Structure 1
């Protein structure tokens, strides 16, 4: 698009039109594979267990199956995003994810088929994960990139807040199969039209790069091979391995953690309700701060909160207020994780091969995220509480923050 269509008074790469891209990305995130299966399996679990006799351990293993597939497929997805464009990948993956999620309603009691459905859903829905959306958002923004990423990634918090009551009401009124079919339609009937209308990438045509807002940054950056020879990539990998493990592990165990601290079911429901809203707050505040302060320093500041939250849950006497503060702290940190990753990759390694590099990092996060809940659950089975696991989580968060502080200043130029 020619420069005259944009105000010369605004910083290049931060034109207001980019906010329509952010809205589309937020809708895509909200209706993608990251939040929908994760937030609905807990609602569907009792129905599937009652009808098919499956154990909850077997049902929750579907999340582990998904993490394993994502770990393998996310680098390939990143390459596809770089080669074919994020918009094309999104418009293909959204309807395929919706259809594959709807296929869960066809299961008649085979646990192996259930796992196979999750494998297919994870492969077809891989293009709805954050690499797709952040790839384009970071193209449109430079000065306000952190805030733009924070707003876009609020989609997961919105889904977490809305999808459970929707799923519950559908199950109560029509049964679990209808609930699955309706929820599976959402990426198709809402996601696809919004993304098709508003999600636009910056492309460099025959005009000079400076004639295209953001094209100079969109075309700069190191290759994946070059990034792999950079010690900063491995520093980030170690940091996010620790951070993802510590932030993901307590989330599905949170209700049981609170149960072991003698809270009633009603109290647990009230305490954990704060988690989803704190995720949104973490994304927005973290994004705002990223635009103003060196990102590793902001990461160290924000990761202190979930580290303290993990430790609070191990204290000798804990009341409802303390437990709520700990839960809010965990959600605050969890809300910042993916915004931080996207921001760091775009700043340290550039835009040109963003998808490939992000895909490799997502594999690291998928591995740590799949491992964390299992390790916490194993620790509970062995000793009957989560004290040791939670304190290890605090140490992991501090370690991850310390590693990020070793990243150094942002490179001034990525052009090759």
Structure 2
């Protein structure tokens, strides 16, 4: 009988951790209206706080990737959950909008950063020799699972009780995961005397000089920016972030409310996307192990662009059939771009620095998300509608199609080494 491999326990704990951390960011849309009503804050100001969160957890990714090699996975997860929980609890004491920017924008942003940026790449590379694409797909889909299960629940709690009740649930989940990580998480296979899943020969012992994680992150960036592929992948991922959690994740519910769709229904539609997101992202991981990642990304961005152009038409016509079609297509496509993008980064820059390079590329993703989160709020205030923002996001996806098809899949020179 084959010995059970602890990599699957690590995968499950990481999966659940990403769900809990991710719902804090994914739920921003259901809190916009309650914050407006409770505190009389401007929508653009609330959106700016969410944009800070998106931007911070994106740009902290490369440094967290470097810190993981020095501090270890388990300790980093415990520290992140501590910051996340404190940020969530601080929202109960808010009276001014700048306090939202500190609690949600800074603390929740930094607390969720590890789970929503580089942990999937780190776990896949350090715990799996085989099935890496599948592992990344499963972990990436975890945000969709949280969206599927928790978003309607949070919306219902806000609608029936208060936003404080919904936040209490989020704090409780964070505390539960802190305990789970403390009890069951392991940092590396060697900690329990195992090799990576599918690995047959142990790696040679290499003495690695300890360097400042900030220095390592910037040195890796310095070398990565010399390649055309880095800019192409960063630009396409900027558009990815702009068109997903930046716009849809932050403003979809508010866009639906403008057309008379109840908040619980809108949240359920977003949750419905999560169901197809889970399927699409896991399938994308499977496809990434078998097909050219560039072509996968081309079709993902093309279908996403078409679906974003469909959404304003569905809402203005009150056509629920089109709205369901949009929900299905966008859900299948939401995070499906991650496994092939990570695969291209790994092939182009090598395993050793792939997490840090991906961290910088993910920072571009979150810069795009922050742009759409704040920009969507501004567009609404300027035009009293989100339609212009959604049309621009759809058109930008077609540009991303061109970027990904010009990426060189395999490196022609040695991998980035520091």
- The answer, yes or no, to whether TM exceeds 0.5 is yes
Measured after TM superposition, the shift of residue 76 of structure 1 is 2.3
Match of 1:63 among 50, 53, 69: 50
Q: 1:30-80: per-residue Cα shift (whole Å, max 9, x none)?
A: 111x332431x4444454444433344433332012134334433322221
How far apart, CA to CA, are the structure 2 residues paired with 1:135 and 1:52? 40
Q: 1:302-352: per-residue Cα shift (whole Å, max 9, x none)?
A: 222211102223558572111221222222221213334333323322232
How far apart, CA to CA, are the structure 1 residues paired with 2:58 and 2:378? 22
**What runs of 5+ residues in structure 1 fail to find an aligned partner?**
8-14
Counterpart of 1:338 in structure 2 is: 338
How far apart, CA to CA, are the structure 1 residues paired with 2:223 and 2:260? 51
Counterpart of 2:82 in structure 1 is: 95
Match of 1:116 among 102, 113, 116: 102
Indicate the RMSD between aligned Cα atoms, in angstroms: 3.8
Match of 1:84 among 48, 71, 82: 71
The alpha-carbon distance between structure 1 residues 404 and 173, as it changes in their structure 2 partners (threshold 3 A), is: closer
Matches within 5 A, 1:126-165: 126-165=113-152
- Equivalent pairs, count: 399
How far apart, CA to CA, are the structure 2 residues paired with 1:214 and 1:93? 33
Measured after TM superposition, the shift of residue 300 of structure 1 is 1.2
Retained in 1: the 8 A contact 2:151–2:271?
A: no
Retained in 2: the 8 A contact 1:296–1:407?
A: yes
The alpha-carbon distance between structure 1 residues 59 and 392, as it changes in their structure 2 partners (threshold 3 A), is: closer
Retained in 2: the 8 A contact 1:299–1:340?
A: yes
How far apart, CA to CA, are the structure 2 residues paired with 1:20 and 1:410? 32
Counterpart of 1:398 in structure 2 is: 398
Counterpart of 1:18 in structure 2 is: 7
Counterpart of 1:233 in structure 2 is: 230
Q: What is the TM-score when the length of structure 1 is the normalising length?
A: 0.81
Retained in 1: the 8 A contact 2:29–2:249?
A: no
The alpha-carbon distance between structure 1 residues 68 and 217, as it changes in their structure 2 partners (threshold 3 A), is: farther
Counterpart of 1:167 in structure 2 is: 154
Q: 1:169-228: per-residue Cα shift (whole Å, max 9, x none)?
A: 65578754454234213222234424651444245999999x9758659989x9544333
Measured after TM superposition, the shift of residue 139 of structure 1 is 2.6
The alpha-carbon distance between structure 1 residues 398 and 88, as it changes in their structure 2 partners (threshold 3 A), is: same
Secondary structure of residue in 1 paired with 2:290: coil
Retained in 2: the 8 A contact 1:278–1:328?
A: yes
* Greater Cα offset, 16-25 or 356-365: 16-25
Counterpart of 2:286 in structure 1 is: 288
Measured after TM superposition, the shift of residue 381 of structure 1 is 4.4
How far apart, CA to CA, are the structure 2 residues paired with 1:201 and 1:65? 32
Retained in 1: the 8 A contact 2:85–2:171?
A: yes
Counterpart of 1:38 in structure 2 is: 26
Q: 1:3-34: per-residue Cα shift (whole Å, max 9, x none)?
A: xx977xxxxxxx954322221210111111x3
The alpha-carbon distance between structure 1 residues 171 and 104, as it changes in their structure 2 partners (threshold 3 A), is: same
Retained in 2: the 8 A contact 1:218–1:352?
A: no
How far apart, CA to CA, are the structure 1 residues paired with 2:37 and 2:383? 29
**What runs of 5+ residues in structure 2 fail to find an aligned partner?**
209-218
* Greater Cα offset, 349-358 or 380-389: 380-389
Matches within 5 A, 1:173-322: 175-194=162-181, 196-202=183-189, 216=203, 223-247=220-244, 248-258=246-256, 264-265=261-262, 268=266, 271-315=269-313, 319-322=319-322
Measured after TM superposition, the shift of residue 361 of structure 1 is 1.6
